[in-house]
């Protein structure tokens, strides 16, 4: 060996494989403004569509007159529900088994609902025309409060469902009832409560908010009438599913529909579903044969396409005097708005909310969820979380604090006492999940030691005494949160979308010169797949990540997959990538054996090639093998070097983490300042620690926003309040706390590379940490629960109600 021969470490480093803090390759174009987003598309002859929307939350639509609008030069068409009926698209199916109006069919159910679709030569003309479409409304009584939805005299929101006593998920017990979903052992749980030393009960509400990605929802539909082919460019988190749905609805054969998701500016669940804008643009292009672009503005995005949360969770825990939990009972009232358009796997009307037992060993539990209609926008998407997992984590983490308070126990100690123990994994939860792996105690102790938990408690005690003596108007809260997520939907045994099993896929092709093109069924919206997928392949087949191109989002070229949301990409597609890569490595081994004239069993893998066992000088690098695959493959072997893998995961993955928030609150103004925020995440094997850190920072910033003020509210008339960035809280760098991140590594035993999802953990675990900090600060005044969001005036109000203003 001469001096120029790279060492094993150098060869390994050259790969930039798993574990490497590789810089994001996509950022080269994003940071130069060279990303290609939907609104960057300019097709020849393209026209624009925009909506006439309802000013009322609940009204009959008695007349739509577009005469004046159509007189404006450049206005091409004004579509109404009547026009869509001609193509059977006035209504569309939702992912939750309901139907939803595409355009108002006789009535509107929420403010800003789509009433008519104006198509014009440019956006300016379209907006002018909207002002001239005359719509006559007859106002109806408005239902805003979900707790009033099932009152006997509540207004009928959905006359289309009249007489339907059976919904998509079982019996409906009221005209505004959507479903009742129950899981767990009701009798055993009742018994646990009757035998308990201590019980707590609290209504814990998680308010309505919105994912609000930087780029709103948009699409360009282009029908080629000659070829009979439809191309749709759109902000789609799940392009293949969109194509299947488009084919089913339009009756255009699936192979003649091309769905392309270009660069996407954030999704967070907002871009999973199908919206009236897509349908109208597609119909308009099919009818006119010219490309039609539809782009939401910010107010439309916040007020119509997909809210998140709005869960009202009555939570009870039974426990022994020593703090051991013995039972959990939760009833959820879920506000779904005017249509049930929840984006959950089809069999799960409340998503995976039954992860609500959290990180604790509850011997028994019972959960019931009732979904109801109100005069609000539809949605119920998983805003940076696996389906309804943020709600579940908030519910249990808040409830554990309330129990600790009742028992006069430290909330961290109560959690340590009740954690599922390392030797209990795989762990069967009382509500039906099998947790794959975890070491909660190690993570919790590491977090407590790092943040100096006991010292902080002592400081808090001293500050409380000083407050009581009148020496300060500031109080201190310590928020504890220990979450367990369930991500990676999902195993075909329990997860499908409209009947399509929730597998995912990867296709890898090694070129003769040893570079690679790879395509997946997922779709990055900022997660950095182009970087991390290449790292998995690099480690698995020994080709530098820099030589691997990753492509997603084009349904013509990418293998079928269910897309990116619910932290499913790494658990599902990540596994498919590793398995496809291993198929390539297996073939490469046979080629190398042929080249080295040994048996393949005499070879061993070493970083970037195969070497003869005991004789590492005799080796063939992956580059050499790739050339041989095309140049001189072994006799009787197909040439080429490529593989496809479709992966149906055996189980979900269960990331977890310990988060601590230290907060100082000005009792006189209600202003809360986060002094420290520490987040320890365990997502199993870490593919790119820098991307993980970035994901955690982003999710924590969203969690901070949600807990401390971000909400979509309605007044009693059903007017949506604050659907602009004036009021909808998006923190800037000034408000955002400093994040301290940390980790432990407990690999998933069933995942080929041991990885779990991570992108959503910080949102799931962050919200309870912030809310528990606020609640913890006021406990010494006798408070048990203060509802989110914790913006300054609500904190001030809580302080006032507790008598803290003298």
Partner 1 sequence: MIPGEFTYHRPSSVAEAVAILVSHGDEARPLSGGHSLIPMMKLRMAAPEHLVDLAGIADLKGISESGDNIVIGAMTTQNELINSALLTEKLPIIRETSLLIADPQIRYVGTLGGNVANGDPGNDMPALMQCLNASYVLAGPDGEREVAAREFYEAAYFTALAPEELLTAVKIPVPPAGHGFAYEKLKRKVGDYATAAAAVVLTMNGSSVDFCSIALTNVSDTPLYAGDASAILTGSTLDSDTIKRAVAAAEAITDPASDARGPAEYRTKMAGIMLQRALTRAAERANR
Residues at the contact surface with partner 1, assessed by CB under 8 A: 123-124, 127-128, 131, 297-299, 668-671, 709, 713, 721-722, 726-727, 729, 731-732, 734-735, 791-793, 796-797
Give 601's DSSP letter.
G
HSE value, Cβ hemisphere, 13 Å, CA-based, for 396: 32
Q: Distance between CA atoms of 613 and 665, rounded to whole angstroms?
A: 65
**Cβ pair 155, 143 in contact under 8 A:** yes
- In angstroms, rounded to a whole number, what is the distance separating the alpha carbons of residues 178 and 382? 19
Q: Is 342 a catalytic residue?
A: no
For residue 210, the minimal CB distance to partner 1 (Å) is 14
Are the beta carbons of 559 and 507 closer than 8 angstroms? Answer: yes
The radius of gyration computed from the CA coordinates of the chain, to the nearest angstrom, equals: 28
Q: List all residues 6 or more positions away from 533 whose beta carbon is below 8 Å from its beta carbon.
A: 506, 518, 520, 548, 550, 573, 574, 577
Q: Please, which residue, 544 or 698, has the CB nearer to partner 1?
A: 698
Sequence-distant (6+) residues with CB within 8 A of 653 are 436, 486, 487, 488, 571, 684, 748, 750, 751, 755, 756, 757
527 annotated active-site: no
Question: Which secondary-structure segment (H or E) carries 60?
Answer: strand 59-65
Q: How far is the CB of 738 from partner 1 (least distance, A)?
A: 16
Q: Which is nearer to partner 1, 30 or 793 (CB)?
A: 793
- Mapped onto helix, strand or coil, the DSSP state of residue 19 is coil
* Nearer to partner 1 (CB atom), residue 419 or residue 729: 729
Distance from C-alpha of 245 to C-alpha of 788, rounded to nearest angstrom: 37
Tokens of 411: 């909330």
Quick one: residue 614, left, alpha or beta (phi over 0 = left, psi -120 to 50 = alpha)?
Answer: left
Catalytic residue among 24, 53, 172, 384: 384
Least separation in angstroms between CB 202 and partner 1: 24
Task: Specify the residue, 128 or 224, whose C-beta has the smaller distance to partner 1.
Answer: 128
Least distance from partner 1 to the Cβ atom of residue 677, Å = 18
Three-class SS state of 569: helix
List 385, 395, 495, 661, catalytic entry: 385
* Catalytic-labelled residue, pool 12, 525, 760, 779: 760
Place of tokens 């669940």: 269
- Least distance from partner 1 to the Cβ atom of residue 255, Å: 38
Count the neighbouring beta carbons within 10 Å of the beta carbon of residue 624: 18
Q: Which is nearer to partner 1, 298 or 320 (CB)?
A: 298
Measured in residues, the chain has a length of 806
- Could you tell me the smallest distance in angstroms from the CB atom of residue 719 to partner 1? 13
What is the phi-psi region of residue 298: left when phi exceeds 0, alpha when psi lies from -120 to 50, beta otherwise? alpha
Q: Closer to partner 1 by CB, 513 or 797: give it.
A: 797
> Residue 503 and residue 490: Cα distance in Å, rounded?
6
CB of 733 to partner 1, least distance (A): 8
Q: At what angle do helices 411-418 and 440-451 cross, to 10 degrees?
A: 160
To the nearest whole angstrom, how small is the minimum distance from the Cβ of residue 631 to partner 1? 58
CB closer to partner 1, 514 vs 670: 670
The full DSSP string for 71-112 is HSTTEEEEE-HHHHHTTT-SEEE-TTS-EEESS-SSEE-STT
158 is catalytic: no
Residue whose CB is less far from partner 1, 155 or 731? 731
237, 460, 527, 611: the active-site residue: 237
Q: Which residues are catalytic?
A: 237, 384-385, 760
């Amino acid at each position: 060996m001469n001096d120029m021969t790279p060492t094993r470490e150098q060869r390994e480093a050259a790969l930039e494989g798993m574990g490497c803090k590789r810089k994001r390759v996509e950022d080269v174009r994003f940071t130069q403004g060279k990303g290609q987003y939907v609104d960057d598309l300019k097709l020849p002859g393209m026209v624009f569509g925009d909506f006439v929307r309802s000013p009322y939350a609940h009204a009959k639509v008695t007349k739509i007159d577009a005469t004046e609008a159509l007189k404006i030069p450049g206005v091409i068409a004004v579509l109404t529900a009547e026009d869509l009926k001609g193509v059977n698209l006035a209504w569309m199916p939702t992912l939750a088994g309901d139907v939803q109006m595409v355009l108002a069919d006789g009535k509107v159910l929420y403010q800003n609902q789509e009433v008519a679709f104006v198509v014009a030569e440019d956006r300016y003309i379209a907006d002018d025309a909207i002002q001239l479409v005359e719509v006559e409304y007859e106002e109806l009584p408005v239902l805003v409060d979900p707790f009033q939805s099932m009152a006997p005299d509540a207004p009928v929101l959905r006359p289309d469902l009249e007489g339907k006593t059976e919904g998509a998920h079982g019996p409906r017990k009221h005209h505004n009832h959507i479903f009742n979903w129950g899981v767990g052992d009701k009798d055993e749980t009742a018994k646990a409560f009757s035998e308990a030393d201590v019980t707590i009960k609290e209504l814990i509400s998680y308010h309505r908010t919105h994912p609000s990605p930087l780029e709103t929802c948009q699409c360009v539909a282009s029908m080629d009438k000659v070829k009979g082919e439809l191309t749709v460019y759109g902000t789609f988190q799940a392009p293949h599913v969109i194509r299947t749905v488009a084919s089913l609805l339009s009756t255009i054969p699936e192979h003649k529909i091309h769905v392309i998701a270009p660069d996407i500016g954030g999704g967070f669940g907002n871009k999973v579903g199908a919206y009236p804008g897509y349908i109208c643009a597609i119909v308009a292009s099919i009818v006119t044969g010219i490309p039609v672009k539809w782009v939401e503005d910010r107010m439309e995005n916040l007020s119509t396409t997909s809210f998140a949360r709005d869960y009202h969770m009555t939570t009870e825990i039974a426990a022994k005097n020593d703090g051991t939990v013995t039972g959990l009972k939760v009833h959820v009232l879920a506000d779904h708005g005017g249509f049930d358009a929840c984006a959950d796997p089809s069999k799960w009307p409340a998503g995976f909310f039954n992860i609500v037992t959290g990180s604790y060993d509850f011997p028994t539990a019972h959960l019931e969820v009732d979904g109801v209609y109100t005069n609000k926008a539809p949605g119920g998407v998983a805003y940076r979380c696996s389906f309804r997992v943020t709600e579940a984590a908030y519910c249990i983490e808040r409830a554990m604090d309330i129990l600790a308070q009742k028992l006069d126990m430290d909330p961290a100690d109560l959690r340590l006492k009740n954690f599922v123990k390392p030797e209990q994994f795989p762990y069967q939860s009382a509500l039906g999940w099998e947790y794959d792996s975890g070491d909660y105690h190690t993570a919790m102790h590491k977090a407590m030691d790092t943040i100096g938990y006991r010292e902080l408690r002592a400081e808090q005690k001293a500050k409380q005494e000083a407050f009581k003596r009148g020496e300060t108007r500031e109080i201190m809260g310590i928020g504890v949160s220990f979450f367990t997520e369930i991500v990676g939907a999902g195993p075909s045994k329990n997860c499908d979308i409209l009947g399509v099993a929730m597998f995912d896929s990867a296709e890898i092709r090694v070129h003769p010169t040893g570079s690679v093109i790879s395509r997946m069924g997922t779709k990055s919206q900022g997660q950095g797949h182009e970087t991390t997928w290449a790292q998995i392949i690099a480690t698995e087949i020994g080709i530098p990540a820099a030589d691997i191109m990753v492509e997603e989002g084009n349904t013509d070229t990418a293998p079928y997959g269910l897309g990116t949301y619910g932290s499913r990409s790494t658990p599902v597609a990540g596994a498919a990538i590793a398995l496809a890569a291993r198929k390539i490595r297996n073939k490469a081994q046979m080629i190398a054996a042929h080249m080295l004239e040994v048996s393949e069993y005499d070879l061993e893998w070493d970083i970037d090639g195969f070497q003869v066992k005991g004789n590492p000088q005799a080796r063939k690098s992956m580059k050499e093998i790739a050339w041989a695959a095309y140049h001189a493959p072994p006799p009787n072997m197909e040439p080429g070097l490529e593989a496809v893998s479709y992966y149906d995961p055996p189980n979900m993955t269960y990331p977890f983490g310990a988060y601590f928030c230290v907060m100082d609150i000005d009792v006189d103004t209600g202003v809360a300042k986060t002094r420290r925020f520490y987040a320890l995440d365990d997502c199993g094997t870490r593919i790119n620690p820098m991307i993980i850190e970035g994901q955690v920072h982003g999710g924590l910033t969203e969690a901070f926003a949600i807990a401390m003020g971000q909400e979509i509210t309605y007044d009693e008339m059903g007017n949506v309040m604050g659907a602009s960035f004036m009021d909808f809280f998006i923190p800037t760098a000034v408000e955002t706390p400093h994040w301290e991140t940390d980790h432990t590594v407990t690999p998933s035993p069933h995942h080929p590379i041991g990885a779990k999802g991570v992108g959503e953990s910080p949102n799931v675990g962050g919200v309870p940490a912030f809310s528990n900090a606020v609640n913890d600060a006021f406990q010494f005044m006798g408070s048990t629960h203060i509802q989110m969001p914790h913006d300054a005036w609500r904190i001030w109000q809580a302080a006032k109600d507790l008598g803290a203003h003298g």
